[in-house]
Amino acid sequence: MTVEIKVPSVGESVSEVTIEQWLKQEGEAIERDKTLAVLESEKATVELPAEASGTVKKLLKKAGDTAQVGEVIAIIDTEGKPTASTTTTAAASKPETKPAPAAPAKKSAPVPETKVEVKAPAAPAKAEPAPAPVSVSPPPVPTRVSAEPVDAGGEEEIVPMTRLRRTLARRLVEAQQTAAMLTTFNEVDMSAVMALRKEHGEAFLARHGVKLGFMSFFVKASVDALKLVPEVNAEIRDENIVYKNHYDIAVAIGGGKGLVVPVLRNAERLSFAEVEIAIGDFAKRAKDNKLKPEELQGGTFTISNGGIYGSMLSTPILNPPQSGILGMHAIQDRPVARDGQVVIRPIMNLALTYDHRLVDGREAVTFLKRVKDAIEAPARMLIEV
């Protein structure tokens, strides 16, 4: 009996994927639910499990090929056993790698000489390009798989963009072309939050198994501000404004293949510990490219923390169709005036980029001021004043 392996649905509006890697080859045994291939969509990298145990009878696509959702890309023979050909191929592949000993043969015929002979016909026409063969050297380059870097002569390296990176680039350009983006700034004194973390950090870690970070404070402060200024949590749909009565906060994270923005669903219902645990889990799985497509969809507002990379100030770009994104930055000790005295305080710059078609300057400033007030007096978030 044979089982067809089809490309599964990997997210709303995603119609095709790229086969990044086959983990099993034809003739090899595989168990049910074990990963057969790694697929890359425009939103995430996902693993394709085998739907039955047996032997891989046929791979209908090569690594690097694209496939449509629902398309058959492999066939598993549930009654098959690993073929002798696989062992033979495996054994044969080793002798093929043994041409490594053929290296001595290359020594007898130095590489520079072969290059000169290949380019010799062109030498009379152009005497000066003679050095070119050295920089353009490895002839095997054109035979490389398209997903691998290409040596363009030592001074450049040509690397095809991943599907995820291409989609990110397209969406960023679309955001600038379709939204009237404007950014407003403020600064926040982090003294109160840092004091709370110092006082309760050890107990928090012991109880919840995760450190009390800054992100949970900013997620809760953003929810508080979004309730006050609902336009920032809304979106423009056709000629209508859609107000959201839920707060799904997307958190920008650097993943293994680029920026990903997983979503904290119903963040208003989450405790500080639940926020920190969820973000930690997102960050770990983002590095391993294990995030699920549905975890990257449907956010109503985004928070991006460039401060972890040392950024002091930036203008974040909207994540359409959202109308607002909050940018956090590095904390720096600065002199500030307090009660007529100049004192040193840990200060962070905040930036709110918003869609001016929907959010006016007054609402944007009000939102950012609310976040500032909540961070500088975090107890207010607990008593909702």
pLDDT class of 218 with cuts at 50, 70, 90: very high
pLDDT class of 141 with cuts at 50, 70, 90: very low
pLDDT value of residue 271: 94
Domains of the chain, each with CATH number or no CATH: 2-77 (2.40.50.100), 104-158 (no CATH), 166-383 (3.30.559.10)
Sequence-distant (≥ 6) Cβ neighbours of residue 265 within 8 angstroms: 248
In terms of Cα–Cα distance, which of 368, 235, 222, 238 is closest to 300?
235
In the predicted structure, residue 240 carries a pLDDT above the cut 50: yes
Q: Which tops the pLDDT comparison, 3 or 385?
A: 3
- Asked if 160 contacts 146 with a C-beta cutoff of 8 angstroms, the reply is yes
pLDDT value of residue 382: 72
Among 45-54, 103-112, 135-144, 372-381, name the one with the lowest average pLDDT: 135-144
Task: List Cα–Cα distances, 283 to 43, 164, 248, 286, in angstroms.
Answer: 16, 17, 17, 5
In the predicted structure, residue 94 carries a pLDDT above the cut 50: no
Q: Which tops the pLDDT comparison, 218 or 150?
A: 218
pLDDT class of 13 with cuts at 50, 70, 90: low
Task: List Cα–Cα distances, 270 to 70, 220, 223, 378, in angstroms.
Answer: 36, 9, 11, 16
CA of residue 131 relative to chain centroid, distance: 41
Sequence-distant (≥ 6) Cβ neighbours of residue 98 within 8 angstroms: none
- DSSP run (H or E) holding 4: strand 2-6
Three-state secondary structure readout of 133-187: HHHCCCCCHHHCCCCCCEECCCCCEECCCCHHHHHHHHHHHHHHHHCCEEEEEEE
pLDDT value of residue 20: 84
pLDDT class of 1 with cuts at 50, 70, 90: confident
Helices 191-208 and 361-376: angle between axes, nearest 10 degrees? 60
What are the tens digits of pLDDT across the range 341-362? Answer: 999 999 999 999 999 999 999 9
- DSSP run (H or E) holding 278: helix 272-287
Query: Residue 354 is encoded by which pair of tokens?
Result: 């918003």
Residues in the chain: 385
What are the tens digits of pLDDT across the range 263-282? Answer: 999 999 999 999 999 999 99
By CB atoms closer than 10 A (0-12, 13-18, 19+), residue 191 is: middle
Among 47-56, 109-118, 167-176, 226-235, name the one with the lowest average pLDDT: 109-118
pLDDT value of residue 123: 44
In the predicted structure, residue 236 carries a pLDDT above the cut 90: yes
pLDDT value of residue 114: 42
Mean pLDDT, the chain, rounded, equals 82
Q: Once rounded to an integer, what is the mean pLDDT over residues 84-107?
A: 44
- Asked if 337 contacts 345 with a C-beta cutoff of 8 angstroms, the reply is no
What are the tens digits of pLDDT across the range 180-195? Answer: 999 999 999 999 999 9
pLDDT value of residue 372: 97
pTM (predicted TM-score)? 0.67
Q: Please give the positions annotated as active site.
A: 356, 360
Most confident of 90-104, 231-245, 276-290, 368-382: 231-245
* CA gap 317, 327 in Å, rounded: 9
Q: Once rounded to an integer, what is the mean pLDDT over residues 62-75?
A: 89
In the predicted structure, residue 140 carries a pLDDT above the cut 70: no
pLDDT class of 150 with cuts at 50, 70, 90: low
Q: Is 355 left (phi over 0), alpha (psi -120 to 50) or beta?
A: beta
With a pLDDT cut of 90, the percent of the chain lying above it is 53
For residue 47, which amino acid is it? E
